[in-house]
Amino acid sequence: MKTISILGSTGSIGKQALEICRLHPDRYRVTALTARASRETLFEQVREFRPEMAGLTEGFEASEIPADLSFCRFVGGREALRAAAAEVPADMVLVSIVGIAGLAGVMDALGAGRQVLLANKEALVTGGHLVTDLARKAGKPLLPVDSEHSAIFQCLQAAGPNPAERILLTASGGPFRTWDPERIRRATPAEALRHPNWSMGAKITVDSASMFNKGLEIMEARWLFDLPEDRIQVLVHPESIVHSGIVFRDGAVLAQLGQPDMRVPIGYAMSYPERLETGVAAPDFFALGRLTFEEPDEKKFPALRLARAALRAGGAACTVFNGANEAAVAAFLREEIPFGEIALRVERALDRLAGLRADSLEEIWEADRLARRI
């Protein structure tokens, strides 16, 4: 039996990870759960899975903990993430909280010698060199949970000693794939949140609509698979059946296919190198009929261009890209700026903060702060 701690248990990824635990009670025991502010959902999870520790990072009040949960130790604030990542016994830590807040959780878990299941791309976007160095020292490879990076990881397992020449990173194209630029610029939050294939949180869904999510995934792939950005190719694939692949020097391609259901990559990370039942059926290829691929339009979706420029710039540029985007998306969801303004604000922050260093966590936090302020 493996023990698991889940940072972000009330979000989409966390809930689906608990589905895997529910499906295999003989294989997994939950030792810690944390949430940002969804207290009632967290309380229900604690009742069912009976972890040793649970935490709320916002709005924690010890007096509000129900009496029937006295068996569980509750922790509040930033300390909740640290305790769940590094203090409570766990073979593996699933980091599924959104944003740069995940960086410290990943570092804490690796520092404690835990296996990290990575569903937080921002940890590698903002602190890729620090995280990969620590993972190397800990002797614990990062196991990706993002569907695209899990697909690449799975293909690399099948590749044996043969190195990949290029990565093929697929993108659904989001809800605005066929829209004209002016209509995209004026898109509303309600329109941006209608993803055609995936069920995700608001921030990630908006990032998918703008393709900032794919820009972040290019950065994540650079660190996970140690390839420069010019060897990471984005393919728009509206059906979301081919989750990503790798190209070899002889022209052969390996790709991983499956239903657009996050339980598959979550389950693979939790059971690696085994494969367990996830409750997801294989695709019905006769029903699919055809699979289509398109080149991304960087004029309509400038996030891809900006992401590659940030990677080439180095230093804290990727941190600035991420922080400015998080702040701009929050403003868009509050209906303070139009959708088209998100990329403009990120580009402005990159221009104004060029040359910042990111050699320590302190420098990364400062770059993030400055980017959000701009």
For residue 371, the tally of other CB atoms under 10 A from its CB is: 29
Specify burial of residue 149 (Cβ count, 10 A radius: 0-12, 13-18, 19+).
buried
Q: Which CATH class is domain 2-144?
A: alpha beta
> Locate tokens 């940072």: which residue?
7
| Distant-in-sequence, close-in-space partners of 212: CB < 8 Å, separation ≥ 6 | 206, 303, 307, 325, 329, 342, 343, 346
- Residue ranges, CATH 3.40.50.720, the chain: 2-144
Three-state SS at 167: strand
pLDDT per residue as tens, the chain (374 positions): 999 999 999 999 999 999 999 999 999 999 999 999 899 999 999 999 999 999 999 988 888 999 999 999 999 999 999 999 999 999 999 999 988 889 999 999 999 999 999 999 999 999 999 999 999 998 989 999 999 999 999 999 999 999 999 999 999 998 999 999 999 999 999 999 987 766 667 888 999 999 999 999 999 999 999 999 999 999 999 999 999 999 999 999 999 999 999 999 999 999 999 999 999 999 999 999 899 999 999 999 999 999 999 999 999 999 999 999 999 999 999 999 999 999 999 999 999 999 999 999 999 999 999 999 99
Q: What is the pTM of this model?
A: 0.93
First to last CA, the chain: 48
Residue 175 Cα distances to 221, 300, 307, angstroms: 24, 13, 21
